[in-house]
Every structure is written in C-alpha cells, then in structure tokens.
C-alpha cells in the first residue's frame, strides 16, 4: 500500500510541474496528449502482466448483484468506513485545487518557481512512501495514521496563514505537509482493506472508490464557495478553508479509531476460533 499510495501522491505533486513545462514549451493541449499516451501504455501493461484478483469469487454467495450491493451499503460498519473515506478525501480535494493560485497570489512565488516547488515535494513523497508503509506494518497502521493526522493538521494551520514567503520555506512546509498527507493515506488505506469480509471485498472496494471520488467533487465545490478572490488579488478566507480541512481530519481520526477497534476485535475472535485470519479478513500489508 505504501508503493501504491506513493503513486497517487506523486502524481498530484509531479503532474503540475510537468503539465506546466509542456504547456509552456508547446501549448495547453500537450499535457492532455501526454495523459492519453501514458494511459494507453499503462492499460497495456495491466492487460498483459497484472493477474486478476479472483480469490473472493470462490466464496459462495446466494445474493444477486443488486441485493449484494444493498447488503454492502446497509451494513453499519461499512457505512462508517464510507463516511471515513468521505472525510479522508475532503482534505486533499479542498486544498489542492487552489495550491498554485495560493502560491502565486499569497506566497509571492512566480510561475517559474512552481515546477521547482512541486518537483522537490514530489521527490520527497516518492522517498517517504515505502518508508511510511514499513512503519505502518511495524508500529501499527492506526498509530501511524494518528501521527500523520496531527502532523498535517499543524502544518495546514501554519501554511494557510502564510503571506509573502521565501521559496525555501514554502518548499520545506510543502514537503512536510505532503509527507503528512501521504502518511494518512497510506496507513488508512492499509487499514481499510481489512474491513470487508472476503465475500464482500469486490463490492466494498467498488463502493469505497466511488464514495471517495464523489466526496472529492463535493469537497472541491465547497472549497470554491469558501475561498474568494477579488481583482486578481490574494485568495481570501484560505485560513477558514484550512480550519475546515483540519476539522475533517480530526473527525476521520475518531472514525478510524472505532474501525481499527472493530478490526482488532474481529481478529481476536478469529484467533480464538483458530481460523485463517489472512484468508478471512483479506488484510493487505502496508
């Protein structure tokens, strides 16, 4: 999960400078052609080399797909996880759309400095992703999630109140903030894979992914209502947006506490019964 989530975090911080370079060197169509080309290559690699996950299909279920979906969205424990997923997606989708505008209009950076900012941040994100995964396995996924949440909350509170700031300080704060975000996403993703029963895994992960995408869209829309800009000046109420993001992160930390508690409780029951925990819980290593 550390390597998988590293890819998502890296794409967020490296995609912007690469897109800017291509757009400046050619035209605004260039980044979209790059996305299409990479998508075709990745699609071919997946089709040719990745093995499908089919173990859960061997578990007999008497429910048809519609009833199975209903059983997923009506399960109180699963619903709690989907709510946590909503809040987990909120933070990034609220802050990221305004990252470039805030850097230029509020922090005083130039367009030429943005690739440097996001490039350096991306390198650190790549390096720390697998390390965070290893720490999640050795120290505990929820414990690492709490650390990432506290770290990110503090940095977001500082970052969203910045005015004109030197480039080196913006880079330092951004690196710490993105490492904190990666810590939260890696540990929470590894933890949430342990939630569904094996027979529910495919349906659960499909709903989980959809919920995150919908939550991201809603979060971006809400952020657009909170943040305002007049006459191409500095972004206003960005500090309020920071408080909203911090609140969602703290609430998700509470929800993940109960989810982790239920997982540990079920694991203890399975140990007592002498069952195969890995097969029953479909736990993924971080």
The phi-psi region of residue 231 (left if phi > 0; otherwise alpha if psi is between -120 and 50; otherwise beta) is left
pLDDT tens, residue by residue, 106-125: 999 988 888 788 888 888 88
- Six token digits for residue 165: 């700031």
Average pLDDT score over residue span 186-194: 87
Q: Which CATH architecture has domain 2-51+64-275?
A: Up-down Bundle (1.20)
Residue 235, SS3 per DSSP: strand
Average pLDDT score over residue span 11-30: 80
Q: Which of 155, 118, 167 is closest to 10 using CA atoms?
A: 118
Are residues 68 and 61 in contact, defined by beta-carbon separation less than 8 angstroms?
yes
Q: Round to whole Å and give the CA distance between 158 and 243.
A: 11
pTM attached to this predicted model: 0.80
Q: Which of 271, 251, 11 is closest to 118 using CA atoms?
A: 11
For helices 76-95 and 238-273, the axis angle rounded to 10 degrees is 150
With bands split at pLDDT 50, 70 and 90, how would you rate the model's confidence at 127? confident
For helices 114-139 and 167-192, the axis angle rounded to 10 degrees is 40
Per-residue CA distances from 244 to 90, 130, 148, 149, 202 (Å): 9, 29, 17, 14, 32
pLDDT tens, residue by residue, 229-274: 888 788 999 999 999 999 999 999 999 999 998 888 887 777 777 6
pLDDT tens, residue by residue, 82-111: 998 888 887 777 888 888 889 999 999 988
């Amino acid at each position: 999960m550390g390597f998988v989530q590293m890819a998502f975090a890296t794409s967020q911080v490296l995609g912007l400078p690469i897109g800017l370079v291509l757009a400046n060197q050619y035209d605004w169509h260039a980044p979209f052609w790059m996305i299409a080309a990479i998508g075709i290559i990745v699609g071919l690699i997946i089709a040719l080399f990745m093995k499908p996950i089919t173990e859960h299909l061997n578990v007999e279920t008497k429910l048809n797909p519609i009833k199975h979906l209903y059983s997923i969205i009506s399960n109180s424990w699963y619903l709690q996880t989907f709510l946590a997923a909503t809040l987990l997606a909120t933070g990034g989708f609220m802050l990221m759309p305004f990252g470039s505008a805030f850097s230029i209009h509020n922090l005083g950076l130039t367009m030429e400095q943005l690739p440097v900012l996001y490039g350096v941040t991306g390198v650190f994100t790549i390096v720390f992703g697998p390390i965070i995964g290893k720490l999640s396995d050795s120290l505990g996924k929820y414990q690492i999630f709490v650390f990432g949440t506290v770290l990110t909350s503090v940095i977001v509170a500082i970052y969203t109140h910045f005015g004109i700031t030197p480039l080196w300080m913006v880079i330092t704060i951004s690196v710490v903030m993105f490492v904190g975000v990666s810590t939260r996403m890696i540990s929470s993703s590894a933890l949430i894979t342990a939630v569904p029963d094996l027979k529910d895994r495919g349906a659960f992960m499909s709903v989980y992914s959809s919920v995150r995408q919908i939550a991201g869209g809603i979060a971006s829309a809400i952020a657009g209502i909170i943040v305002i800009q007049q006459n191409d000046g500095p972004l206003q109420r960005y500090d309020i947006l920071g408080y909203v993001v911090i609140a969602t992160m703290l609430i998700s930390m509470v929800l993940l506490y109960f989810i982790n508690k239920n997982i540990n409780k079920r694991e203890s029951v399975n140990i007592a019964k002498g069952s195969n925990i890995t097969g029953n819980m479909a736990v993924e290593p971080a």
